[in-house]
Amino acid sequence: MTVTEAPSIALLGTGTMGLPIGRNLLAAGMPLRVWNRNADKAEPLSEQGAEVARSAGDAVSGADVVITMLYDGDSVAEVMRQAAGRFAPSATWLQLTTVGVQAAEQLAELADELGLIYVDAPVLGTKQPAEQGELVVLAAGPEDIRPTCQPIFDVIGSRTLWLDRPGEASRLKLVVNAWVFAVVEGIAESLALAEGLGLDPKLFLAAVRGGAMDAPYVQLKGNSMLAGDFAPSFGLSNADKDAQLILHAAQLAGVEIPITQAAHEYFARAVEDGLGEQDLSATFLVHRPK
């Protein structure tokens, strides 16, 4: 395959992130076959021209590139093993799921077992950036495969950060998510504290707006919390899964990260309260004065 050819792509996973990724690939004219465990979630892509496969094996059969955007490392490994024997020789596997350090290494070994070229490529961004094709792709894979990958990454993302060694992309994704969780928990705590002190919590957002302590994410998540708008962009259950991956990685590295530990505890409480399908900003509800 040359870089001028449109690669045939199999997309495994058409949930919150996979669906808009698929739409952008189709809009760019890339041949796409899709599969999802719940087939109803894949059907919207058929209206744009995707072929909806009945099994993961049917989806990957003959595909030049296989993209996985599933829940975790176990689900990725399970689905890829189900498709064993159906992959094209030396097909490229773009692994976009956030899976953590150990699973990324295990999936790289699985790629060798399956005869695939493995690219560790988790993405930064949630539902809206995925819809707009503005994800940031963190990618680690063989340098000679980059011309195959880059046109795809250019469709789904605003930029790609290539790293040198396999597994580094998954490590960096955990580092970034640790920062995201610290910001979200900080916003939730400050708004809850304002309420507890008898202040209008909007005053916190007004006080930091436009200054060095502000960021678009602060205003976005803060206003969503106050509006009670917890439509999932980054689901709480998924965020808690990632928090646990971060904590495990930190343990392996001998690094203390108490802020992520606290975020995990509040995320877990929110999930126990039935908020797991809501956005991670719903952690605010656990912090609010009772």
Provide the β-strand partners of residue 157.
Answer: 135
Give the domains, in start order, of the chain with CATH numbers.
Answer: 9-165 (3.40.50.720), 171-287 (1.10.1040.10)
Q: How far is CA 180 from CA 53, 67, 214, in A?
A: 35, 25, 14
pLDDT tens sequence across 75-126? 999 999 999 999 999 999 999 999 999 999 999 999 999 999 999 999 999 9
Query: Are 112 and 90 contacting, i.e. CB atoms less than 8 angstroms apart?
Result: no
The overall average pLDDT reported for the chain is 96
pLDDT of residue 134: 98
Phi-psi region of 9 (alpha: psi -120 to 50; beta: other; left: phi over 0): beta
Query: Is the per-residue pLDDT at 289 higher than 90?
Result: no
Work out the average pLDDT over 176-202.
98
SS3 state of residue 279: strand
- What pLDDT, on the 0 to 100 scale, is given for residue 156? 98
Res 3: pLDDT:
40
Confidence (pLDDT) at 290: 78
What band does 258 get if pLDDT is binned at 50, 70 and 90?
very high
Instruction: State the Cα–Cα distance between residues 128 and 118, nearest whole angstrom.
Output: 27
CB neighbours of residue 209 within 10 Å: 12
Query: Based on the number of CB atoms within 10 Å of its own CB, is 153 exposed (0-12), middle (13-18) or buried (19 or more)?
Result: buried
Structure confidence by residue, pLDDT tens digits, 116-154:
999 999 999 999 999 999 999 999 999 999 999 999 999
Per-residue confidence at 2, pLDDT binned at 50, 70, 90? very low
> What tens digit of pLDDT does each residue of 198-245 get?
999 999 999 999 999 999 999 999 999 999 999 999 999 999 999 999
Over 90: is that where the pLDDT of 166 sits? no
- Cβ-based burial of 198 (10 A; exposed 0-12, middle 13-18, buried ≥19): exposed
Calculated CA dihedral for residues 195, 206, 175, 19, nearest 10 degrees: 90
Q: Is the pLDDT of residue 1 over 60?
A: no
Mean pLDDT of the region 45-50: 96
42 vs 19: CA distance, rounded Å: 7
Give 40: exposed, middle or buried? Use CB within 10 Å, 0-12, 13-18, 19+: exposed
Closest CA to 278 of 127, 82, 100, 93: 127
Helices H / strands E in the chain, number of each: 13, 9
- Residue 281, C-beta contacts closer than 8 angstroms, at least 6 positions apart: 184, 187, 188, 221, 224, 225, 230
Angle at 206 between CA 231 and CA 266, to 5 degrees: 45
What's the pLDDT at 4?
46
Q: Which letter does DSSP use for residue 273 in this model?
A: I
Number of Cα atoms under 13 Å in the Cβ half of residue 192: 16
